[in-house]
Amino acid sequence: MSVLVTGAAGFVGSHVSLALKKRGDGVVGIDNFNSYYDPSLKKARKSMLAEHGVFVVAGDINDGKLLAKLFDVVAFTHVMHLAAQAGVRYAMENPHSYVHSNIAGLVTLLEICKSANPQPAVVWASSSSVYGLNEKSPFSESDRTDQPASLYAATKKAGEEITHTYNHIYGLSITGLRFFTVYGPWGRPDMAYFSFTRNILQGKPITVYRGKNRVDLARDFTYIDDVVKGCLGSLDTSGKSTGSGGKKSGPAPYRIFNLGNTSPVTVPALVSILERHLKVKAKKNVVEMPGNGDVPFTHANISMARREFGYKPTTDLQTGLKKFVKWYLSYYGYNHGKAVN
């Protein structure tokens, strides 16, 4: 297959691009290298990909002309759409960034896909956050998603509705993947596992949010290698788009899957695992979760993904964080004289 990976210099995008290339697929990436977090990490991922023969075009998915040029040069059979403004809490600081990338950018990309001939099958990243304040656990794809708790979640829910219309009207094959708190090497500095590691090593305090009535928050933390397998499985089973240059012809597949792990782990448990791997005690400030769009817990029912493409996460948080810490220490050149085996 020949895949356009958007957000290819990002955390998930770089891992997916590398995995596709290693198994022999054609891959072209695009990324706007924005400064939501340290762009040097994105540039380092780009260099790592270049060493494996994957080129990442610097550009914005809102640039329809650039996307059209890419489709003129390459007859993409698939689009792995991972470019987005991620992060739940940042939406309260910079709401327009979410509209720019997660709404306007998505529509620009879909407009190019629906007019391409052949039309590519589209697999894109939605989010566990669409389940909002659901109390029913674990979350199944058919559960309600009409109570997003953050603007980020709302843009992901909107994405699911928008992609549905491009499936219905133009026959685009669409697969939405609801990732659940993904972590691992080459990860995102804005996420808790990463920022906790940095602060613990630098002797700075970490802030541990807690829910109402002092209940610990929990996430269905999912290791990057498991998510990558889910992405490739989705691409391989995405079926064909049935539109041809914008005319509706026959039903193209519209699918949504949870890509999570097997059970949630609390934030304090994550901190304890990091302390063990780093051999440093964390300085913790425990505060009640502010009204920042966070949800108390996430927990994925992954039976649909397992049935459809054999999705089976195999990495628990203890093992996954050991791999992350090993990468972190090597990437940032930490030499603490502490063995990380």
Ligand X SMILES: NC(=O)c1ccc[n+]([C@@H]2O[C@H](COP(=O)([O-])OP(=O)(O)OC[C@H]3O[C@@H](n4cnc5c(N)ncnc54)[C@H](O)[C@@H]3O)[C@@H](O)[C@H]2O)c1
* Positions marked catalytic: 152
* Part of the chain binding ligand X (CB under 6 A), chosen from 136-144, 181-189, 250-258, 300-308: 181-189
8 Å CB contact between 128 and 180: yes
208 binds, among ligand X, ligand UGB, none (CB under 5 to 8 A by kind): ligand UGB
294 binds, among ligand UGB, ligand X, none (CB under 5 to 8 A by kind): ligand UGB
42 binds, among ligand UGB, ligand X, none (CB under 5 to 8 A by kind): ligand X
Cβ distance to ligand UGB smaller for residue 291 or 337: 291
8 Å CB contact between 225 and 186: no
105 binds, among ligand X, ligand UGB, none (CB under 5 to 8 A by kind): ligand X
- Residue 325's φ and ψ, nearest 5 degrees, are -60, -40
Provide the token pair at 70.
């890419």
Cβ distance to ligand UGB smaller for residue 181 or 242: 181
Q: Which residues contribute to the site for ligand UGB (CB under 6 A)?
A: 86-88, 127-129, 179-181, 191-193, 207-209, 217, 219, 267, 289, 294, 298
**Distance from C-alpha of 282 to C-alpha of 284, rounded to nearest angstrom:** 6
Chain-centre distance for alpha carbon 67 = 21
Cβ distance to ligand UGB smaller for residue 71 or 193: 193
209 binds, among ligand X, ligand UGB, none (CB under 5 to 8 A by kind): ligand UGB
User: What does the per-residue mask of binding to ligand X show for 116-145, with x meaning CB under 6 A?
Assistant: ---------x-x------------------
**Distance from C-alpha of 18 to C-alpha of 338, rounded to nearest angstrom:** 30
Residues 6+ positions from 59 with CB-CB distance below 8 Å: 30, 31, 32, 66
Three-state SS for 285? strand
CB of 87 to ligand UGB, least distance (A): 5
Cα Dmax for the chain: 63
- Residue 340's φ and ψ, nearest 5 degrees, are -115, 100
Query: Does residue 270 belong to the site contacting ligand X (CB under 6 A)?
Result: no
Cβ distance to ligand X smaller for residue 122 or 243: 122
Query: Does residue 327 belong to the site contacting ligand X (CB under 6 A)?
Result: no
Of the candidate residues 82, 106, 122, 208, the single one contacting ligand X (CB under 6 A): 82
**Distance from C-alpha of 123 to C-alpha of 305, rounded to nearest angstrom:** 14
Query: Does residue 179 belong to the site contacting ligand X (CB under 6 A)?
Result: yes
**Distance from C-alpha of 174 to C-alpha of 234, rounded to nearest angstrom:** 10
User: What does the per-residue mask of binding to ligand X show for 8-47, with x meaning CB under 6 A?
Assistant: -xxxxx-----------------xxxx-------x-----
CB of 129 to ligand X, least distance (A): 7
Query: Does residue 101 belong to the site contacting ligand X (CB under 6 A)?
Result: yes
Task: Tell me how crowded residue 45 is: count the other CB atoms within 10 A of its CB.
Answer: 24
Per DSSP, the residues of 110-157 read HHHHHHSSSPPEEEEEEEGGGGTT--SSSB-TTS-----SSHHHHHHH
**Distance from C-alpha of 53 to C-alpha of 46, rounded to nearest angstrom:** 10
Task: Tell me how crowded residue 267 is: count the other CB atoms within 10 A of its CB.
Answer: 22
Cβ distance to ligand X smaller for residue 182 or 274: 182
Rule CB under 6 A: which residues touch ligand X? 7, 9-13, 31-34, 42, 60-62, 82-86, 101, 105, 125, 127, 179, 181-182, 188
